Structure formats: structure tokens, C-alpha cells
Structure 1
Amino acid sequence: MMSSNAISVLAKVFYEPKSAFESLKEKPAAWLPLALIILGTMIVFYWYYSTVDFAWLLDHTLSAQPDLKPEAKAAMANFMTRNAMMYSTLGGVLIATPIIYAVFALYYWVASKVLGSEIGYGKWFHFTIWISVPALLGLPMMALQVATGHGQVAMEDLNMLSFNYLIAHAQLGTPWASFLNNLSLPTLWTVFLSFVGLRVWTGRSTGACAFAAVLPYAFFYGGWALKIAFSN
């Protein structure tokens, strides 16, 4: 049975984050949002792969690789079966999501040491999950895309909150498409929640916590953008 307190805190993360992180500082257990993120994502992707026009999806995906030789395309087509793509995606969500949170938790643990905090790694792991709850907002929209797409929705169009979907509309296979599909409004919200949570949990200055919150994202997305810019 889901804890009513956990549900209350989950809601407060969206509309009163400072209060939410104050209540989470001592007991930050994040099993509810972790389960919602992983299971919700897996359900949507299972529905997507179960209903998508797979011949159309395969053609759409391969058309983004115009430089591939015919034999390479044939090999990809043989590998990219419905079940192979479905179960690799579901397995990736189930396994990679906690690993990503664990890596970010390590960063926040190190950053907190630099900021003079003695909060342990375990609490930062739960912190990383709580700041990721804006990702839940994208799941109903992904489900809407699947429900209304008549079986012909591209993977890159599932995330209606990405900057590519909202603004750029870069075509699959172009240099900036993956970058802009990965960068989304929930990403920016997560950075903001990271800042708020760091301020509450460490009590350090606004500038220091803002720098610590932005740094990993600036490093990742900045490095990715520079790689694209200098390789084209």
C-alpha cells in the first residue's frame, strides 16, 4: 500500500519544492517515485512497440541512415525485430535508470562534501530520484501520442516535451536531432529542483548551490553540443 505521506511529498515537489525537500531531509526514501518512473516508462514503451506499425517504423529508422550500404541496412533490418527492440528498450529502462541515478548520486555526494555537508551517499541517491519526478509529466503525453498516432509515431516524437518536438523539429539522423530530443523541459525542471534541494539540504549560498546544480548538465550537454559543432 502506497504511503499517503510519500504521495503528499510527491505532489509538493511540483508546487512547493522547498517544503518537500525540508520534509525529505531526514527520511528521503524515494521508492514510490522510482517505481512510478520505471514502471510507467516500461508500460508506455510496451504499449508503443505492441501497437506501432513496425514495417513503417523500420523504414523510418533506416531512412535516417542514407549513407549505409544496402548490406548494412539488411543486417540492421534483420536485427531490428519488434521483440528485439521492445525487450532491449524495456531492459534498458529497468537496468539503466537506477544506474544513472546512482552515478548522479555519486556526483551530489561529492559536491556536498565540497559544500561542507556530511549527508551520506544513500540519501543523495534518493535525492536524485526525487529531483527527477518531472519526468512523470511526460508519460501521459507519450501515452497520448501512442493512442492517437494510428501506429505511425516515431520514437523521437514520443517525447512531446523535448526541445526538438517543441521548437527545432530536426530530422532524425541530423547532427542536432539526438541532442534536442534528449534535452527537454523536465530536464530544466530537474536542474531547478536540484538547486532547491541542495539549498535546503546543505544550507549553503545561492551561488554555490546553483553552480553545483547546473555543473553536471552544463558539462554533459555543453560537451555534447561542442562535439556536434566541431565535427560538422
Structure 2
Amino acid sequence: MQLVSNPFQAMKDIFVKPNQVFATISEAHNWSWIPFICIAVIGALPIYMYFNFVDFSWYTELMVQAMAGDLSPAEQNVFRNVMADQSQSLWTGVFGSVFMLLVSNAIMALYLNIVTKADEECVQGYTDWYGFSWWVSIPVIVSSVMGVLVVLVAQDTQLSPVSMAPTSFAFIFSVEMNSSWASLMQAIRLESLWVMYLTAVGLTQWTRLPVKKTYIIAIAPYLLIWASWALFIVL
């Protein structure tokens, strides 16, 4: 198998030759900084552009009704005042998105580090799996670029925040922000299927686990989280 020569080529080849990429990065060091930086920067772009475009007064009222609609008018005013600063909301969103990626990938790395112990020949440790998590997260870049395009072509400044994630079920099925299903539908995204696939492919390169088991490992956390979330909403 022909290996990849540099991290920038790996960023490109992950879309068409993921096996070669994962075979290479299992031996390479410090390559994961490249996808991390790209994902963090490009992933924050839709948020930055959205808050510089949206009618912020309308957005504030939308969020108040969606998140505090059942509270008293006085409590809603407190919530409204907290959100009054557009710049603060923008940077909270930008840095919050990066923080969530750091945390979610840290959890995923811990999960992979634990489940791959079933392969006695697997030599990768937690930091290796943390780097791995950034490579399988590269599809986020595609959805983020799509989010940027949605904001760019929008003409109405009263643009729903779900537009920042056009691959989410919330956007695809036009789920209202005040729906009890809104958060879950925003979390379920088409690129998650791509991430699952890349995770399974990477596991086949980094371990000697059966292919079927790698797909189970890749899919299980998503199904468990989504199913538990849906059950919580229903109950």
C-alpha cells in the first residue's frame, strides 16, 4: 500500500483513499494538528458569519421563546438581557464550538482507547486515538463550508440558526427551534455517517479487529446517544 507523504496530502486523500491515510498516520507524528486547526477554524466560520448577518433582535427573541418560553415574563427578561450583547454571543458561539469539538473528540478517544483493548496487538494509546479522532472528523469541514454558503446566499436576515448546520435533520426537515426535538435533530447530521465510516476504516488499519466489529464500534456510540436522547424526549 502506497503511503501518504505529508499531512496536507492526507487531508485530501482522506476523502478518496482513507485506508492509505490511516496506515500512514499510525506511524506519523504530530500530523493531527493540521486537521485540528482546519476543523476548528472552518467549523467556526458559519457561526461567525451568521452572527454578523442575522437580525440579532429577532434572533434573541427566537432563542428566548425556544429556551425560556415556559418561564415568567420577568425570567424571560433576565434571559433576554444575558443575550443582549451580539459580540458576546458571537464569540461565545465561536469558542464554544471549538471547545465542544475538543471535549467530544476527547471522549471519543477515550472510548476508542478502551474498546480497542480487545486487540492485544494494538499499540496505540489515548493520545494516538485523540489524534485519530481529528482525522475522522474531517467531514465536519464539508458541512461547515455548506453552512457558510447557506449564510452567504441568504437574503432574509431573520435566518434560523439551524441554517449553520445544513446537513442536520433540523435543517432538512425544517424543525422549529421551539420543538422538543430541535436539539436532537440538530445533533443528527448526515456527515455523522461519513464519520462512522472513516472510524471503521481507521480501526481496520490500526487494529486486527474483525471488520464487522469495527463497524459496530464506530456506529454504537451514535446510536446509543441518539436513542437515549429520543427516549428522554418521549418520556
The two structures share one fold, judged by TM-score above 0.5: yes
| TM-score for both structures, normalised by structure 1 | 0.91
1:56 to 55, 58, 63: 58
The residue aligned with 1:89 is: 93
C-alpha distance in 1, partners of 2:233/2:191?
23
Unmatched segments (≥5 aa) in structure 1 = none
2:190 to 168, 177, 185: 185
Structure-to-structure mapping, 1:61-80, within 5 angstroms: 61-64=63-66, 65-80=68-83
**Contact in 1 for aligned 2:109/2:129 (Cα 8 Å):** yes
**Contact in 1 for aligned 2:168/2:186 (Cα 8 Å):** yes
Q: Deviations over 1:29-87 (max 9, x none)?
A: 21111001111122332222122210111122223343221111111110002122112
The residue aligned with 1:47 is: 49
The residue aligned with 1:159 is: 165
CA drift of 1:4 comes to 7.3
Determine if the alignment matches structure 1 residue 108 to structure 2 residue 109: no
The residue aligned with 1:27 is: 28
C-alpha distance in 2, partners of 1:111/1:41?
28
Query: Normalized per residue, which structure has more helix?
Result: 1
The residue aligned with 2:213 is: 208
**Contact in 1 for aligned 2:167/2:189 (Cα 8 Å):** yes
CA drift of 1:229 comes to 2.0
Unmatched segments (≥5 aa) in structure 2 = none
The residue aligned with 1:225 is: 230
Q: Which runs of 4+ in 1 moved over 6 A?
A: none
| TM-score for both structures, normalised by structure 2 | 0.89
**Contact in 1 for aligned 2:50/2:164 (Cα 8 Å):** no
CA drift of 1:94 comes to 3.2
CA drift of 1:157 comes to 2.1
Report the CA distance shift for 1:209/1:4 in structure 2 as closer, same or farther (over 3 A).
Answer: closer
**Contact in 2 for aligned 1:21/1:200 (Cα 8 Å):** yes
The residue aligned with 1:38 is: 40
Matched residue type, 1:46: Y
CA drift of 1:106 comes to 1.0
**Contact in 1 for aligned 2:43/2:140 (Cα 8 Å):** no
Of 86-95 and 121-130, the range deviating more from structure 2: 86-95
C-alpha distance in 2, partners of 1:62/1:41?
25
What is the count of residue pairs matched by the alignment?
A: 227
